[in-house]
Amino acid sequence: MNKAKLNEHVSDPMQLDMAVMVIEPDLSAWQSLEPILSRYFRLIQHARTLELAVVNFRRFNFDLVVIDIKLVETFWQLLNRQHLAGDVIHQGINNSDFPILDSSFDAVTHNIELKSADDKYCYPEHFIVLSRVPEADDILAMMRKGAKDFISKPIKYRDSESIIANWCKRYRLSSKQVSLQTRQPVKSYSQLVGDSSIAETMRANILSASVSNSPILIEGLVGTGKKLATHQLLQLADSPYQQVVIDCRDELQLTKTALAGCDKATSNPMRYVQLVLTHVDSLSVTGQIALMQLLDSVSLLSTLKLRVVSLSHSSLLRRVQQGAFSSELYHRLACLYLHLPPLNQRSEDIVLLVKFFVSQLIATDVFVAEDLLTRFNAWRITDYQTLTEYDWPGNIQELKNTVEQCLMMNVHPNEYFKQNPHTDCQQADRQSISEATSSTQHFFPIEWDLKHIEKAHILRVMNIYQGNKLLAAEHLNISRKTIDRKLNEWAKD
């Protein structure tokens, strides 16, 4: 099973609080490397496939990657592929070339050429290559791409141990001067930070929606980034929009504020208005009627090009089904629909978001930047694990607040969660649920064959990860293609 090996106690005085990932299909090579790495690294992770390696690389802050030389180029390309949507936005490619909502990220990047292999953008800063036949030209090429050393296969304990020890020594000396920008920097041409498939879909959908003036409904829990999405729509628009924001909880001011804002916009040469309605799910029946009258009034302004963006914490369609929201108003607001999932559904983005918030905090006050950076670099592997395993009921906003609290108060995330009663209780609840789930025995009927048992087990793991195929594949130590193939086979049965 492909899980991270975490040494709970430092068993060797040479072991440092660092993480390493080995990308090696050959199980015997991995088994030879593991005891060597255990002397120096607190967290050790093995990926036999590149697909799992990319998932792991997003989820953990690895100090070193040890990779088979034949996989280097493909691994680099897969990592860079996650940033192509941002490059498209940055380069200003015609928006009409992009698909409509809910299209896959592959469709967005179909005809876009990958970056040059000489570009180190998003590539691991520290990596060592494994090679069975160490050709001089190949090794030199890897060194030019940033490889720190190479290990020959089959693995020889003494030689490999010397290489790892030398790297650790150099890394320890240089770590005192490591800056945030040199440790897997955050480069995002989109305001929506994240490398997960969910984040990619969100960026692609917002990009597709930005080319239309049709009303847009954005739904998501508190703190998932709905207001950020409205700003992204403004940035991606072909024409400059003036934004008018209305809080629908203040129904008395709803019509007055909106008409005043739109009247002001008509005197503006731009004549493009993005009307943002926040908390639209809080409207009473009276407020819903007032909003429909408002939309009718604004539509009479023939010189005004209006895009209405509605934000809701809950499902408006469910409220329509319950009779609490007007079906007519819903369909007027939801010509295009965007859903922003909670943070716990894209936990692989958490480390990247943490670094993004640290960068923001440091940039706000250069006088304390060095102290904050020193505090951040002191965070341990277990701190990152705590952050990625927490449920984040307040989503991205709660993560941002937690990062700032930890840095300003000089408290490691592990200690922060212990000191905060609310988060500590929630962590305890999640741990007890997890332990109960893992300890429960599942006995299959004696008449079942292996195919039935395999199907039941895979579907159970898929359910645990809420349908996330990548995480389920990692748990099962198989490829995502295998899961897709089996699901297709079962669908035909």
Beta-carbon count within 10 A of 115 CB: 18
Residue 393's domain comprises 345-437
How confident is the model over 63-108, as pLDDT tens digits? 899 999 989 888 888 877 644 434 433 333 333 332 333 333 333 2
Confirm whether 235 is domain-assigned: yes
Instruction: Tell which of 288, 311, 340 closes a domain.
Output: 340
Assess if residue 94 is contained within a domain.
no
Across 313-323, average pLDDT:
91
Q: Are residues 270 and 388 in the same domain?
A: no
Helix (H) or strand (E) holding 51: helix 50-59
Q: Choose the final residue of a domain: 157, 182, 207.
A: 182
> Are residues 145 and 211 located together in one domain of the fold?
no
CA distances from 167 to 30, 64, 182, 188, 224 (A): 18, 9, 17, 30, 40
As for how many domains the chain has, the answer is 4
Above pLDDT 70, what percent of the chain?
A: 72
381, 18 in Cβ contact below 8 A?
Answer: yes
CATH number, domain at 484? 1.10.10
Higher pLDDT, 254 or 469: 469
Say if residue 57 is in the same domain as residue 150. yes
Look at residue 103 and tell me if it is in a domain.
no
CB 461 within 8 A of CB 3: no
- Express each pLDDT in 291-301 by its tens digit: 888 887 766 55
DSSP secondary-structure letter at 212? -
Q: Are residues 373 and 245 in the same domain?
A: no
Q: Which two tokens stand for residue 293?
A: 């009258």
Looking at the domain assignment, is residue 112 inside a domain? no
Backbone CA torsion sign across 269, 270, 272, 275: negative
Regarding whether 153 and 11 lie in a shared domain, the answer is: yes
**335 & 352 share domain:** no
Among 182, 208, 233, give the residue marking a domain's end.
Answer: 182
User: 10 Å Cβ neighbour count for 194?
Assistant: 24
pLDDT for res 488: 84
Kindly report the average pLDDT of the chain as a whole number.
75
Can you tell me the mean pLDDT for 394-418? 91
User: What pLDDT score does 352 carry?
Assistant: 85
Which of these, 399, 352, 406, 401, lies nearest to 379 by C-alpha position?
A: 406
Confidence label for 421 from pLDDT (cuts 50, 70 and 90) = low
Write out the two tokens for 289: 């009627």
Inside any domain, residue 78: yes
Co-location of 430 and 470 in the same domain? no
- Same domain membership, residue 298 and residue 230: yes
More confident residue, 328 or 176: 328
Q: Is 380 exposed, middle or buried (0-12, 13-18, 19+ CB in 10 A)?
A: middle
| Cβ atoms of residues 358 and 384 within 8 Å | no
Does residue 225 belong to any structural domain of this protein?
yes
Residue 90: inside a domain = no
Asked if residue 400 is part of any domain, the answer here is: yes
- For residue 281, the SS3 value is helix
Region 146-166 average pLDDT: 88
In the predicted model, is pLDDT for residue 423 greater than 80?
no
Across 194-223, average pLDDT: 88
Q: What is the pLDDT of residue 342?
A: 92
Local structure of 309: helix, strand or coil: strand
For the ranges 69-78, 162-171, 290-299, 318-327, the lowest mean pLDDT is seen at 290-299
Please say if the pLDDT value at position 441 is more than 70: no
Instruction: Give me Rg for the CA atoms of the chain.
Output: 26
> Are 384 and 459 part of one and the same domain?
no
Least confident of 56-70, 183-197, 408-422: 183-197
Among 87-96, 141-150, 428-437, the range scoring the smallest mean pLDDT is 87-96
The answer to whether residues 322 and 410 belong to one domain is: no
- Average pLDDT (437-451) is 58
Residues 462 and 332 in one domain: no
pLDDT, residue 399, reads 93
Q: Report pLDDT for 392.
A: 92
Q: How confident is the model at residue 265 (pLDDT cuts 50, 70, 90)?
A: low
Question: d(Cα 8, Cα 324) in Å, to the nearest integer?
Answer: 52
Domain identity same for 169 and 284: no
